[in-house]
Amino acid sequence: MSGERVFSGFRVTGEQHIGNYLGAIKNYVALQDSYECIYCAVDVHSLTTLEDARLVGPNSLQSATVMLAAGVDPARSIIFVQSHVPEVIELAEYFAMLTPLSVLTRVPTFKEKVQQQPENVNLGLVGYPVLMAADILTYKAALVPIGIDQEPHLELTREVARKFNNHFGDTFPEPKSVHTETPLIRGLDGQAKMSKSMGNAIPIAATEEETTRLVRSAMTDPQRQRRTDPGRPEVCNVYSLHEVFTPGRTAEIHQQCTTAAIGCVDCKGILADSINETFREFRARHAELNAKPDEVRAILRDGAARARVIAQETLAEVRDRIGLMPA
């Protein structure tokens, strides 16, 4: 067991999908064997974009249930809800004073959100990476399992850590990302990143029927108009997903696609079966845990208590380093 700490989190904006699983959750589970891991249902960040705040509570429970069903082990790792450890908000405020607005407005995810919700460009949205830096650095995490899309945010976390250390003395590590072999999964539209909030996702906890229906709606090679046209697997997202979910049959599927021996409907049928097979055990565990919300709530309460001990220690050190007058 290494002395280094791992931290990562999830916005509670909807059901976790196969992109979240392949880009992040898989590593959450694997890293537990070697590190002290802390995983968080990120509810405060969700408020930057969520239209209906009443969903944040139920979604937090649901996100935690998915993480537990996927194999996050509360006996070894801490799993908690972000707002249950309010120290992080205080740290974010100190970090805000060290972060130029010009840096934050250049962050790619901020620019995207401005386009997606021009009527709601709030202070929390521009400060998103500052709160994320506080999430990670409250626990002095050295490693952060994330998908590629989060890389600019982590770069900003390192900048914040460096700046704090330069101003107030060595306090924080500069955390590194940990990627899986599949750090970027495209959505059902075949173009954009699969995202909870974009309606282009396959939830990992979907039923087999829902999965089949969603896979059937996926974009394939746009040039393949008729069943008899040969397909081009290299531009087809369904084929990319076969590489992940049907690894033993990709040569066969490639050959059948390029010779039009199978059509997209058949190809998607095989993919849906592979996805359903991959998540069968997970879904059984998920259904069991879903029926025991009080058990999940107790795990989250215990996680928050353990996380808070670390957070209070860090914040005491931070206030001292900054030179605030002790209470």
Q: Which chain residues interact with ligand ATP by CB under 6 A?
A: 10-11, 13, 19-20, 22-24, 146-147, 149-150, 183-185, 193-198
Cα–chain center distance at 63:
10
Smallest separation, CB 202 to ligand ATP (Å): 11
Q: Which is nearer to ligand ATP, 42 or 296 (CB)?
A: 42
Q: Which is nearer to ligand ATP, 257 or 300 (CB)?
A: 300
Q: Which is nearer to ligand ATP, 22 or 257 (CB)?
A: 22
Q: Which is nearer to ligand ATP, 300 or 318 (CB)?
A: 300
Smallest separation, CB 275 to ligand ATP (Å): 15
Q: Which is nearer to ligand ATP, 181 or 294 (CB)?
A: 181
Question: Rounded to 10 degrees, what is the CA torsion of 171, 174, 178, 183?
Answer: 130
Smallest separation, CB 153 to ligand ATP (Å): 9
SS3 labels along the chain = CCCCEEEEEEECCCCCEHHHHHHHHHHHHHHCCCCEEEEEEEHHHHCCCCCCHHHHHHHHHHHHHHHHHHCCCCCCCEEEEHHHCCHHHHHHHHHHCCCCHHHHCCCHHHHHHHHHCHHHCCHHHHCHHHHHHHHHHHCCCCEEECCHHHHHHHHHHHHHHHHHHHHHCCCCCCCEEECCCCCCCECCCCCCECCHHHCCCCECCCCHHHHHHHHHCCCCCCCCCCCCCCCCHHHCHHHHHHHHHCHHHHHHHHHHHHCCCCCHHHHHHHHHHHHHHHCHHHHHHHHHHHCCHHHHHHHHHHHHHHHHHHHHHHHHHHHHHHCCCCC
Q: Which is nearer to ligand ATP, 117 or 197 (CB)?
A: 197
Cα 4 to Cα 51: distance, rounded to the nearest angstrom: 37
CA distances from 141 to 161, 176, 324 (A): 11, 9, 24
Smallest separation, CB 320 to ligand ATP (Å): 32
What are the structure tokens assigned to 30, written together? Answer: 């694997």
Q: How many CA atoms lie within 13 A of 67 on its CB side?
A: 33
Smallest separation, CB 205 to ligand ATP (Å): 14
Q: Which is nearer to ligand ATP, 196 or 268 (CB)?
A: 196
Smallest separation, CB 278 to ligand ATP (Å): 15
Smallest separation, CB 150 to ligand ATP (Å): 4
Q: Which is nearer to ligand ATP, 10 or 245 (CB)?
A: 10
Smallest separation, CB 260 to ligand ATP (Å): 30
Closest CB to ligand ATP belongs to which residue?
A: 23
Q: Which is nearer to ligand ATP, 164 or 239 (CB)?
A: 239
Smallest separation, CB 118 to ligand ATP (Å): 17
